[in-house]
């Protein structure tokens, strides 16, 4: 019988627990975790994400600020804003919402963030530490997926894990985390030949390719754990995943729905990581 992974419920529980930890930290140490989210321009999806991050941070009792900058800001001006928050002790986490406008060098901006405040885990110091098996700030979506594996008792040791998609935000860090957990990992992507032959070997299948309902029953081994990172909107605004949920559900052992699966865990891990960054300043 398939079990659904209730990402929404888990996220609510974790955020409520985090709010209590934040209250205690305030009382005991006088320390309030601070998060600044920097948004450049008016990308509609980014505006929604940023509003949700701001709302969740405030609800958890964080010191939260959102900086909204004009789409025609110069590279130098944006780097100056990042530097201002690097030097501001009230903020333990800095998140620059991506994508940035075309005239901005995104990599230079990410690398300007103090790696100890890089709660997205995109700075090369953190990606390097992750791939070296060292403690690091970890991109929030794969971090949330690892948390779901832990809570649902998914044993990764020695298992065949297949990751579909190789983005810096999800696919690559996901592969690194699964490898670190002693899974046997295969990274696949849009140029992979005979993809279904490979995904059918997966005990653990993580899909992050941004193509609605791409993974059908033919791609899935009976009894697999299927994690769907997709967030695709059709012409009517309805959300769908990268996995054909109804077709795959009868085959899988454990599966994430969309919405209510991976998505809500991403913000939760952002807050957790910001809380940890605040704690680290006490040491
Ligand atoms: N854009 C889409 N996903 C993300 C994310 O996880 N972090 C940031 N900074 N931008 C994003």
pLDDT digits (tens, 9 = 90+) for 102-136: 999 999 999 999 999 999 999 999 999 999 999 99
273 tagged catalytic: no
Give the pLDDT mean for 208-216: 97
Pair 247, 275: CB distance under 8 Å: no
For the question of residue 97 being annotated catalytic, the response is yes
pLDDT of residue 236: 87
Q: How many CA atoms lie within 13 A of 141 on its CB side?
A: 21
Please name which of 90, 67, 61, 63 lies closest in space to residue 80, comparing C-alpha atoms. 67
Q: One of 6, 117, 118, 120 is an active-site residue; which one? A: 120
Phi-psi region of 195 (alpha: psi -120 to 50; beta: other; left: phi over 0): alpha
Q: In what order do the strands lie in the sheet with 63-69?
A: 63-69, 34-40, 93-96
Mutate to test the pocket of ligand 1, among 38, 46, 49 (most ligand atoms within 8 A of CB): 49
Give the Å distance between the CA of 177 and the centre of ligand 1. 18
Please give the distance, rounded to the nearest whole angstrom, from the Cα atom of residue 201 to the centre of ligand 1.
30
pLDDT tens for each residue of 168-182: 999 999 999 999 999
- Nearest residue by C-alpha to atom 2 in ligand 1: 98
Residue 53 appears among annotated catalytic residues: yes
Over residues 5-39, the pLDDT tens digits come to 999 999 999 999 999 999 999 999 999 999 999 99
Distance 51 CA to ligand 1 centre (A): 13
pLDDT above 90: residue 80: yes
Ligand 1 pocket: which residues have CB below 6 Å?
Answer: 95-98, 120, 140, 169
Helix (H) or strand (E) holding 263: helix 262-280
Q: Report the length, in residues, of the chain.
A: 283
Beta carbons of 249 and 72 less than 8 angstroms apart? no
Q: What is the dihedral of CA 263, 151, 21, 61, to 10 degrees?
A: 10
Query: Which atom of ligand 1 is the closest one to the Cα of 98?
Result: 10
Q: How far, in Å, is the centroid of ligand 1 from the Cα of 194?
A: 30
Please report the sign of the dihedral spanned by the C-alpha atoms of residue 247, residue 186, residue 156, residue 151.
negative
pLDDT digits (tens, 9 = 90+) for 34-70: 999 999 999 999 999 999 999 999 999 999 999 999 9
């Amino acid at each position: 019988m398939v079990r659904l992974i209730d990402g929404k419920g888990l996220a609510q529980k974790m955020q409520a627990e985090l709010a209590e930890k934040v209250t205690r930290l305030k009382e005991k140490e006088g320390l309030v975790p601070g998060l600044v989210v920097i948004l450049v321009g008016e990308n509609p999806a980014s505006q929604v994400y940023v509003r949700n991050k701001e709302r969740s941070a405030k609800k958890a009792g964080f010191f939260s600020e959102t900086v909204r900058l004009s789409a025609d800001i110069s590279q130098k001006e944006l780097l100056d804003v990042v530097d201002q928050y690097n030097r501001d002790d009230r903020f333990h986490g800095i998140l620059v919402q991506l994508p940035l406008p075309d005239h901005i060098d995104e990599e230079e901006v990410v690398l300007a963030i103090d790696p100890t405040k890089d709660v997205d885990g995109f700075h090369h110091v953190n990606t390097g530490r992750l791939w070296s098996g060292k403690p690091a700030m970890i991109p929030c979506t794969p971090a949330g997926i690892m948390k779901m594996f832990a809570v649902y008792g998914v044993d990764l040791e020695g298992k065949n894990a297949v990751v579909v998609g190789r983005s810096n935000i999800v696919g690559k860090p996901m592969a690194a985390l699964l490898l670190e957990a002693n899974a046997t990992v295969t990274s696949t992507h849009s140029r992979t030949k005979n993809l279904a032959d490979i995904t059918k070997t997966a005990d653990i299948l993580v899909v992050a390719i941004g193509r609605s309902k791409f993974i059908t029953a033919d791609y899935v081994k009976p009894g697999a754990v299927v994690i769907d990172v997709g967030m695709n909107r059709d012409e009517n605004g309805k959300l769908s995943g990268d996995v054909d949920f109804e077709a795959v559900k009868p085959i899988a052992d454990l599966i994430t729905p969309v919405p209510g699966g991976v998505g809500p865990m991403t913000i939760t891990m952002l807050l957790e990581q910001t809380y940890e960054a605040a704690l680290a300043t006490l040491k």
